[in-house]
Amino acid sequence: MILGLETSCDETAAALITSDGDILANIVSSQAELHARFGGVVPEVASRRHLELVMPVVQEALGEADASLGDVERVAVTQGPGLVGALLVGLSAAKALAWSRRLPLVPVDHLHGHVASLYLEPDAVEPPFLCLLASGGHTMLLDVRDRAGFAVLGETLDDAAGEAFDKVARFIGLGFPGGPAIDRLAKDGNPNAYDFPRPLLREDNYDFSLSGLKTAVIRWVRERVARGEEFDPADLAASFQEAIVDVQVAKTMRAAEDRKVGTVVLAGGVAANSRLRERMAEEGKARGIEVVAPSPALCTDNGAMIAAAGIRRLERGERTPLDAAPVPGLSLG
């Protein structure tokens, strides 16, 4: 069995999966509440909490899988991108475990981990496919040809989708993380109540730009409040969500049609968004394109996706030296 460790942001996560991608345990300890009072993730606070949680989370995963450290054959860990101090905690724990038991260790690109969430049974999807990867740090369209990696077709020029959700949510007092809160509130709202911009919707590329949309929504709220006018927060949440979803669905479908791809998959925390899942499925059906999304729990950061990405690299004989450093900034590809 393979142990997957993930500590790139504010989730401390450990999972055990088999080489076939069956999940034996997938434990995620979210620090969201800890960071909520700051309105976002505070890197130093995250690192310290990872340090407290990383081994208990591994122990809990072993307990759930009814296994011991002696049963772990290989270790996969997120090397980047992410917060450097947070990454360092998971990487150091993984190195210590691998060294003490002489196990192969492999570093994983967090983004590859999100894509690999699709390779987990029972709903495993086989490449080739087009992947919309939308999370708190990234919004990308990926060309996935095999399980070993991906190529980037387009990405956000400014804010990531999750970041836009979080910032608008914080502004209207919905707390952190904002995506799930907006998703819930929007269910009672009218998506056509207010008309917000759809940036780059008609541009002939696969890039996204969401900071202008976020600013437009914030400015709109400020102006309403300044004029003493009321508005329905549910309508606002639904209209903002609809604008983000519109852009992501349109760009993804255009890329799939241009490239004659039959399968589109969603990955990353924003792929848990109910409206995005619904709209993408509808638009895919209308075009004869299969749309697949992992269960919401596998969309947000977890250890199973890291283990799934690690398997392929280990099979190719890749190993990490024990002095490997975190790679905070770039996708490892």
Phi, psi of 215 (to 5 degrees): -65, -40
For 118, counting Cβ atoms within 10 Å of its Cβ (0-12 exposed, 13-18 middle, 19+ buried), the class is: buried
Q: What are phi and psi of 242, to 5 degrees?
A: -65, -40
Asked if residue 90 binds ligand KG4 (CB under 6 A), the reply is no
Q: Which is nearer to ligand KG4, 2 or 115 (CB)?
A: 115
Could you say which of 31, 79, 135, 273 contacts Zn ion (CB under 5 A)? 135
Ranges within 264-293 binding ligand KG4 (CB under 6 A): 268-270, 272-273
Min dist CB 120 to Zn ion, Å, is 15
Q: Which of 137, 199, 303, 310 binds ligand KG4 (CB under 6 A)?
A: 137
Instruction: Name which of 9 and 76 has its Cβ closer to ligand KG4.
Output: 9
Stretch that binds ligand KG4, among 61-69, 93-101, 131-139, 255-263 (CB under 6 A): 131-139
What distance in Å separates the CA atoms of residue 176 and residue 172, rounded to the nearest whole number? 11
CB 129 within 8 A of CB 261: yes
300 binds ligand KG4 (CB under 6 A): yes
Min dist CB 272 to ligand KG4, Å, is: 4
Among 5, 9, 25, 132, binds ligand KG4 (CB under 6 A): 9
Does residue 245 belong to the site contacting ligand KG4 (CB under 6 A)?
Answer: no
Tell me the C-alpha distance between 301 and 27, whole Å: 11
Residue 179, interface with ligand KG4 (CB under 6 A)? yes
Check binding of 136 to ligand KG4 (CB under 6 A).
Answer: yes
Task: Return the number of the residue (143 or 166) whose C-beta is nearest ligand KG4.
Answer: 166
Provide the 10 A C-beta neighbour count for residue 5: 27
Residue 266 pairs in a beta bridge with 132
Instruction: Pick the binder of Zn ion from 143, 235, 242, 301 (CB under 5 A).
Output: 301
Spatial separation of the C-alpha atoms in residues 216 and 61, rounded to whole Å: 44
The 3 state secondary structure assigned to 67-116 is CCHHHCCEEEEEEECCCHHHHHHHHHHHHHHHHHHCCCEEEEEHHHHHHH
Nearest to 152 by CA among 132, 124, 125, 128: 132
Binding region for ligand KG4 (CB under 6 A)? 9, 135-137, 162, 165-166, 177-180, 183, 268-270, 272-273, 300-301
Binding region for Zn ion (CB under 5 A)? 135, 301
